[in-house]
């Protein structure tokens, strides 16, 4: 059995009802589904915050690309893909 801890959260009644319905339909406990949802959310948000922090570090270090240059590169990449698809 994996290590776990308990967390109490407040939910809107409709969310709790939907969670109960999903639990019944998937044969998973509400706790399991809630833990999975929280884990997915936290992983996604941590990745987002870390990306922002890397961007800020690049900004502070002067590692920047002018907007027009970045857009030209993106436009060229899009055109290359469009040409390859015929």
Per-block average pLDDT, block size 10, for the chain (86 residues)?
Answer: 89 98 99 98 99 98 97 98 94
User: What pLDDT, on a 0 to 100 scale, did the predictor assign at position 62?
Assistant: 96
Helix, strand, coil content of the chain in percent (nearest 5): 75, 0, 25
Structure tokens at 18: 């939907």
User: Which of 15, 12, 13 is CA-nearest to residue 33?
Assistant: 15
DSSP letter, residue 27: T
pTM for this entry: 0.74
User: What pLDDT, on a 0 to 100 scale, did the predictor assign at position 86?
Assistant: 82
Distance, CA of 19 to CA of 34 (rounded, Å): 8
């Amino acid at each position: 059995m994996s290590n776990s801890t308990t967390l109490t959260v407040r939910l809107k009644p409709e969310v709790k009802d939907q969670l109960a319905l999903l639990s019944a339909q998937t044969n998973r406990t509400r706790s399991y589904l809630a833990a999975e949802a929280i884990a997915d959310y936290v992983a996604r948000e941590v990745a987002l915050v870390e990306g922002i922090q890397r961007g800020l570090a690049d900004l502070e270090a002067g590692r920047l690309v002018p907007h027009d240059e970045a857009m030209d590169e993106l436009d060229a990449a899009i055109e290359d893909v469009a040409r390859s698809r015929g």
